Chain A
Amino acid sequence: MPNEGRSPYLPIPMHVLHAYYESTDNSLKTLELSFDDPQDAREFFAAFNPGQFCLLSVIGKGESALGVASAAWEGDFVRFTAQKLGSVTTALHALKPGDPVGMRGPLGNGFPLAEWKGKNLVIIGGGCAFSTLYALTKHLHHPSHRGDYGKLTVIYGTRTSGLCMYKQDIAAWHQRDDMEVHQAIDVPEQNWLHHVGYVPDVVKEVRPSPVNSVAVVCGPPIMTKFTLPALVELGFAPETIFTSLEKRMKCGVGKCGRCNLGPKYICKDGPVFSLAELNALPADL
């Protein structure tokens, strides 16, 4: 969202609408935030594209970069899922409905949805990085968007079934006839009816077709590292493989310097890059 004279460091005032744990171990919590000022909501959704991220502020604690996990059509709220890791995410986990929270965004480029029109989409996620892919899938599910794209395949792996996010929705996805869903966990569990194994291996097993397709990969670095070559092996061209990157961020608008990958800033020029773009950049991740 261009700042047009407004400070790019000034968060939009928001408040917590809903807060609930996403994983059985309580390490992941979802926050749904609502806008204090309806004008801010209009401006946000006019600029929003799935795959973008925001910087959430807990005043007095700091800011954390989190991918948006909701689609615009879901309503005038923005969803995030935060893993409790540092001081800001710990403070985010402590928030209750009604609590104030600041939000800067939407930031970054998001997925090139216009470029993908008419293509089959293979969405591959791992762990809590699935959040923006969830936003993407929700976006595609809207009747006015679904027809623009071909076959939709989702592959989602987590370490355990308890760490799987958005469980109810994903369970419902299995019932849909306009998409194919493959879930995986790393180690066997009782009553698990889906794949067991690491995401790159599941991708090799599912063998999505590269014909008229694009693949989007979001996951921990180790998963991405092995999934990208697996897709190349299946015949996906580097221009048709996309991934969303993460690095430590502060400003989110290409000024504070730290998230650079060669001459590109992940916050401003990314976070979504094609493998072809990444191949031309230094391996500074």
Chain B
Amino acid sequence: MNLILKKDHLNHLLNAWRQEYEVYAPQSLQNFTHFLPLQDGFELAFDKAHNTRIPPKALFLPTSEALLKFTRFGGYEEVPSETAPRLIFGIRPCDAHAMTMLDTVFEQERYTDPLWKARREATVVVGLGCHEPCQTGFCTTVGSGPFNHAGLDAILTDLGEIFLVETLTEKGEHLFTQLETASEDQSMHASEVQQAAAASMPIAFETEGLKQKLDQNFASPYWEEVSRSCLGCGVCTFLCPTCFCFDIVDEAQRGERVRNWDTCMFRTYSLEASGHNPRPSRVERTRQRLSHKYSYWLDQINQIGCTGCGRCVRYCPVGLDIRAMLRKAHQLPSEVLHA
């Protein structure tokens, strides 16, 4: 159902939600925007940047969290999964879409991650579509879009003085019971805005046949060429909404077994105790990163493992651009190359 939310009514609504939920929305902190819990007198930061620097996956898979607490004499106990109701407001469709992909990792049939699942179930997600898409984003290229519905309970379209609200799930409907229904004209206007936004985004690279190119060129010098300027800092993966790798370490002094975000761009990620490393240099590590997103995810869930949020492009310290890397991959020969 389409509803109308007046912009000057937004803070009132957010405050009303705060009675029932812990509400997270983009706010400024140290030059960047972050999803932070709303406090009294909050100021939203929607105009500054489209995406928060750290993707909202961090609200479900924190950068660091305890899995076990150690007790005395070599014992241990599970850390209970948190279940307080939460609402994320203003998440962008690329980030929400990414979360549905991570669900396939953390909520797979045989092994469910209880921490992830509890947080997902306790959270309502309200999206804000991108009526002015960002320059680094390429969501329409990879099967997402500036008004994609995946992973959202409701989505807002900015129409100047008002937001048009589309509720997408029961959870979402429950949030907006007080609003008036949108007129046909308003719904039409929103749909025009949505289509214009998607149409304004150029296709960044050809995805058709890209997987096959990457698979067939596993041993190609291409990987050496595209990874040459990489510093191996890992920012592209840390800030990626579909990256989920983590490390598990025992913090003996804190008495905890902790999981921390980890990245395939680090040497120690795949380094084995024997000293052998299947991905000894940035060449193999870059290959793993790109192949995971543009080949392996397709094998696993038949979706590209990238929603085109553009963070890896925006934050790479040496300006490596995944769009350019993939355009180049498309020029590779199709025949199988042997090492």
A residues near B (Cβ < 8 Å) are 2-3, 5-11, 13, 57, 59-63, 85-86, 89, 99-102, 221, 246-248, 250-251, 253-258, 260, 262-263, 268, 282-285
Contacts and interface: CB of A to CB of B under 8 A. Distances in A.
B246 A255 contact: yes
B138 to A, nearest CB: 23
B221 to A, nearest CB: 16
23 contacts: A7-B114, A9-B78, A9-B248, A59-B75, A86-B273, A99-B74, A253-B110, A253-B111, A255-B105, A255-B113, A255-B246, A256-B247, A256-B259, A258-B262, A260-B288, A262-B291, A262-B296, A262-B299, A263-B299, A263-B300, A283-B218, A283-B219, A284-B278
A263 B319 CA distance: 28
Interface of B: 67-68, 70, 73-76, 78, 105-106, 108-115, 215, 218-219, 244-250, 252, 257, 259, 262, 264, 269-274, 276, 278-279, 284, 288, 291-292, 295-297, 299-300, 339
Contacts of A260: 288, 292, 296
B257 to A, nearest CB: 7
A285 B249 contact: no
B74 A284 contact: no
Given A9-B68, A256-B248, 8 more contacts: A11-B76, A61-B250, A251-B248, A254-B105, A258-B270, A262-B291, A283-B219, A284-B288
A285 B75 CA distance: 36
B70 A59 contact: yes
A257 B264 contact: yes
Contact of B111 (A8, A11, A282): A8
Contact of A257 (B112, B244, B271, B284): B244
Contact of B278 (A9, A59, A86, A285): A285
- Enumerate the 3 nearest inter-chain pairs by beta-carbon distance, A residue then B residue, closest first: A257-B245, A263-B299, A100-B74
Given A7-B67, A255-B106, A263-B296, A250 B247 contact: yes
Give the secondary structure class of B's interface: mixed
Contact of A250 (B109, B112, B246): B246
B272 A8 contact: no
Nearest to A6: B114
B237 to A, nearest CB: 10
A217 B295 CA distance: 29
Contacts of A263: 295-297, 299-300
B246 A102 contact: no
Contact of B248 (A3, A62, A254): A62
A161 to B, nearest CB: 22
Contacts of B278: 247, 284-285
Contact of A258 (B249, B264, B339): B264
Nearest to A263: B299
Contacts of B70: 59-60
B262 A5 contact: no
B78 A10 contact: yes
Given A9-B257, A61-B250, A248-B272, A283 B339 contact: yes
Contacts of B339: 283
Contact of A256 (B68, B262, B279, B291): B262
A102 B272 contact: no
A100 B248 contact: no
B74 A282 contact: no
A99 B110 CA distance: 31
Contacts of B264: 257-258
Contacts of B67: 7, 9
Max chain B Cβ within 10 angstroms of own Cβ: one of A62, A282, A285: A282
Contacts of B274: 85
A9 B292 CA distance: 24
A8 to B, nearest CB: 5
B270 A10 contact: no
Contact of B110 (A2, A6, A62): A2
A60 B252 contact: yes
Contact of A85 (B109, B110, B248, B273): B273
